[in-house]
A and B are shown apart, each in its own frame.
Chain A
Amino acid sequence: MSSNDVRDMLDLPDSGSTRPAKKQKLTAPRPVLKGLAREIQNLSGDNPIAIVPEVSAFKKKRYGSRKPVAKWEQKPFKNSARDGDPLVLRHWRRKEEKPPAPPVGEDGNVEMEEAVAPIAEEMVEDSTFAKYNVRVNVPEYTEEEYNAKLQNQDWTKLETDHLVGLAYEYDLRWPVIWDRYEPPLPAPDSADSLLGLVLPPKIRTVEDLKARYYSVAATMMAERKPPIKMNSAEFNLHEVMSNFNPAIETARKKFAEAAFQRTKEEAREEESLLLELKRILARSDKLNEERRELYARLEAPPSTGNIGIYSSSQGLQQLLQQLMQASKKRKSLMGSEGISPAAGPSQQASFERRDSSVRESISGPSGSNNNKKGPPPGPSERRQLTEEEEKIYGVSHHERIGASGAAFRHEKISKPLISKSSVQQTKIANVLVELEIPNRLIMPTVEVGEAYESLLQSINTLLDARKLADKLDGEIKLARQQKEEREKAARLERGEAVEGDEVEGNNKTEKEKSVARSVRGGSVARSVRGGSQGHKRSASVLSATSEQNFQRSKEYRLRH
């Protein structure tokens, strides 16, 4: 499209130039303007587009908005990291009138120079680098804490103090600490000097120093804040410090040194040996695989099925086909999973053909030698797990499980409690609260469940004992009353005859009976105690008879 076409479209008068002439012009080399689409360039036709790149504008502007030269001055400063050193140095800073200087200035222009003129104290500012003077946090401990937690046969408190001091002074730079470590001599009144012996200072390696320092630091850290409450960064630090092992560290250094010292030839030899090892391992892996397969084949139980059908040539043909199928299957099985293919393929192949009655006869024996517990597991082979695997996968065997299906451990653990009467429940709950055992177990695992159960049992025993004690108290009270009455009666009898004697006698016998009964009831309760926990609380001795009946019926139920 050319300008002519545009003119045409807009009904503008022709500019006069003819098409062929323009064609010629188009072919002529044109100044190529970069950064413009071809179509737009073409639109302009013969006259080039007037786009003048403004090159000089930037420079001019810069000259135009020139500011007066920034003023700099030498300013004094001090460094608070110098531990109270009154030294004052000066550096070049921008003058204050202007808005704050760019930070580049202070970095690039710091010039340490002796202060010459005395400067007013309030003028002196602190160095911006003072904040980088960070001291390490070394563990702090008091005398009691040291005696309680940090005692160590190998280290005296003096030595530990010295070590911690050095660690602080040299910012945990261990080689330096090791170099400067000079254990202070024990005080003259200490036990060692009393013996007249001056022990030579122990020679300690960097690892010894580190081990001591880390153990102290970790102990104090745990002391200040229990590990369970630390955030993860603190916890990781604590873990690292408490797991420091000087022996491993020494071995590592030795190894590194040896690796550093070895010659070129040794390095090359090692490399080739490693390659060799890799090859050997690969080969042994392959060998193991083959051996496993072989064993799997050998382990296949001998078929107890009828071989009569294979006696004919037709039967043999069938067998061959089965075997082919079986070997195909075996391959796919071996590839995917580590399931032992013992008896799997060959039997499966035969299952496809045989009727169900034959299947039963075969799965019987194979089930019994693969399965210790429970009935034989049907045609698909159950994977036999090792003890370790059972632990990993949380598999356990039980004589009988109440209900099959999904359940939750905590419910199961708390079931014996829930199945009791509400009176009993509240009693047990009260005891548990007294013992500060929370309502919900924190970790309802198997072991915790067992512990909980045995605790509940002993609580039950205690509650039963208490109940029995209450009952006995009642009986004792009653017996005392009776005794008093008897004595009174006896005294009366001896003194003068009372008309109501006969009535009282009747009373007595009745009471005696009830006492005897309740005693029997008590002994029954004692004998049944532990096994049964459901007896109702008897409020008084007088209800003993009903309780006795209850016990009897219970006994009866137990017996039958």
Chain B
Amino acid sequence: MAPPNNQKRMKGIQVFRPFVFGSTAKLFDPITNPKPPGTPEDHTHSWTVFVKGVDDTDITYWCRKVQFKLHESIPNPLRTIENINPGTPFQVHETGWGEFEINIKLYYTPESLEKPQTFYHHLRLHPYGLTEAEKDAMKLLPAIVSHCYEEQLFNEPYEQFYNMLTSPVERGKGKGTKMMKGGMVGSSGERTALIPLTSRPDQPFSRETEKLEIKRLMEAKAKIQVMNASAQEELKAKEDELKRLKAELKGIVA
């Protein structure tokens, strides 16, 4: 690999790649999810923490390995996953009884010349949500799922890496290319930053979801603006009153 000073960063350019991380937890059950032999007595759940592409696309061309830092009480808490098959998640399976923060560190491909970056994921084993209704709804599901969408930004990437990110995957190496399932439009193989147009049950992140979120934010903003307008009116009324009082005060003084 060429030494870093041989390459230039692409000024003013930002490239992003979407990915999904999160955890899926299942309660042990004699029938549906039996305890594997050797599991400690007090463990109540089996869980998986993962980092993968949206719609199971390949991310290995920019993400070389992922390090999951689990709780210290778990034997061998630093788990490093690399050399996975493209299109499969970087993941760790474990069993346990408690929730904790998982420190996830992404290592990029050597071409990127970028330092590894860290983010956190809170392992969810129990139903969660803002309201009781949400929690109750989650209780009915077969597994507690906490998936998050995230976008990896490469600010001013190095040229070589930029070229890698912006050229289609080389085809014809005998491996058939996988078609995207979510109605994706794109002819550039799997190295895209596009996300599916519609959501499917196990792929909740899509343009559709994005639109919904924007709509929700906009509705919230509209609400705030209504409140703002009334607040401004109130302000005005108060200012007027103050002015009047001042004038009266002056009148008394004078």
Give the interface of A toward B (CB within 8 A).
Answer: 227-232, 235, 337, 339, 373-375, 377-378, 380, 382-383, 385, 389, 391-412, 431, 433, 435-438, 440-448, 451-452, 454-455, 458-459, 461-462, 465-466, 468-469, 472-473, 475-476, 479-480, 482-483, 486-487, 490, 508, 512, 515, 519
B232-A447 in contact (CB<8A): no
How far, in angstroms, from A363 to B138 measured CA to CA in the complex?
60
Give the number of residues in B that approach A within 8 Å (Cβ atoms). 75
How far, in angstroms, from A519 to B166 measured CA to CA in the complex?
57
Q: Is B130 an interface residue (CB 8 A)?
A: yes
Interface centre among B167, B191, B199, B225 (most CB of A within 10 A): B167
How far, in angstroms, from A374 to B193 measured CA to CA in the complex?
23
How far, in angstroms, from A232 to B221 measured CA to CA in the complex?
35
Which of B41-49, B64-72, B82-90, B201-209 contacts its partner?
Answer: B201-209
Residues of B within 8 A of A391 (CB): 193-194
B228-A406 in contact (CB<8A): no
How far, in angstroms, from A451 to B152 measured CA to CA in the complex?
19
Determine which of B130, B202, B228 lies in contact with A232 in the assembled complex, contact meaning CB atoms within 8 Å.
B202
Q: A396-B13, A455-B221, A465-B228 are in contact. List 20 more A-B contacts (CB 8 A).
A: A227-B199, A378-B159, A393-B191, A394-B192, A395-B13, A405-B154, A408-B153, A440-B148, A443-B209, A444-B149, A445-B18, A448-B217, A451-B218, A465-B232, A472-B235, A476-B245, A479-B246, A480-B245, A483-B249, A486-B252
Residues of B within 8 A of A383 (CB): 163, 166-167
A448-B235 in contact (CB<8A): no
How far, in angstroms, from A512 to B252 measured CA to CA in the complex?
13
B11-A458 in contact (CB<8A): no
Residues of B within 8 A of A473 (CB): 238
How far, in angstroms, from A475 to B240 measured CA to CA in the complex?
12
How far, in angstroms, from A455 to B149 measured CA to CA in the complex?
20
- Could you pull out 5 A-B pairs where Cβ atoms are within 8 angstroms? A227-B201, A394-B16, A408-B117, A442-B149, A483-B252
B152-A406 in contact (CB<8A): yes
Residues of A within 8 A of B193 (CB): 391-394
B8-A232 in contact (CB<8A): no
Known: A235-B200, A383-B167. A487 touches B150 (CB 8 A): no
Interface centre among B151, B199, B246, B253 (most CB of A within 10 A): B151
> Chain B, 127-170, contact with A by CB distance < 8 Å: what is the 0/1 string?
00010000000000000000011111111100100110111000
Residues of A within 8 A of B246 (CB): 479, 515
Residues of B within 8 A of A373 (CB): 11-13
Q: Which residue of A lies closest to B114 (CB)?
A: A406
Determine which of B10, B153, B218 lies in contact with A377 in the assembled complex, contact meaning CB atoms within 8 Å.
B10
Determine which of A412, A440, A479 lies in contact with B153 in the assembled complex, contact meaning CB atoms within 8 Å.
A412
A476-B238 in contact (CB<8A): yes
The A interface, classified by DSSP as helix, strand, loop or mixed, is helix
How far, in angstroms, from A396 to B17 measured CA to CA in the complex?
12
How far, in angstroms, from A19 to B238 measured CA to CA in the complex?
136
A472-B242 in contact (CB<8A): yes
Known: A228-B201, A232-B202, A461-B228. A406 touches B154 (CB 8 A): yes
How far, in angstroms, from A30 to B241 measured CA to CA in the complex?
132
Known: A397-B12, A438-B130, A465-B232. A337 touches B167 (CB 8 A): yes
Determine which of B9, B117, B199, B217 lies in contact with A407 in the assembled complex, contact meaning CB atoms within 8 Å.
B117
A448-B188 in contact (CB<8A): no
A374-B12 in contact (CB<8A): yes
Q: Is B74 an interface residue (CB 8 A)?
A: no
Instruction: Tell me the B1-40 residues at the A interface (CB within 8 Å).
Output: 8-18
Determine which of A377, A397, A435 lies in contact with B223 in the assembled complex, contact meaning CB atoms within 8 Å.
A435
How far, in angstroms, from A356 to B85 measured CA to CA in the complex?
44
Among all A-B residue pairs, the 9 with the closest Cβ atoms? A394-B193, A409-B151, A404-B156, A374-B11, A479-B245, A451-B217, A465-B231, A472-B238, A435-B220
* Shortest distance from the beta carbon of A470 to any chain B beta carbon, whole Å: 10
How far, in angstroms, from A436 to B213 measured CA to CA in the complex?
12
Residues of B within 8 A of A394 (CB): 15-18, 151, 192-194
A483-B159 in contact (CB<8A): no
How far, in angstroms, from A406 to B151 measured CA to CA in the complex?
10
* Shortest distance from the beta carbon of B7 to any chain A beta carbon, whole Å: 9
Q: Is B239 an interface residue (CB 8 A)?
A: yes
Residues of A within 8 A of B242 (CB): 472, 475-476, 479, 519
Determine which of B199, B204, B214, B235 lies in contact with A469 in the assembled complex, contact meaning CB atoms within 8 Å.
B235
* Shortest distance from the beta carbon of B68 to any chain A beta carbon, whole Å: 16
Interface centre among A462, A482, A515 (most CB of B within 10 A): A462
B192-A392 in contact (CB<8A): yes
Residues of A within 8 A of B11 (CB): 373-375
Q: Which residue of A lies closest to B220 (CB)?
A: A435
Residues of B within 8 A of A446 (CB): 16
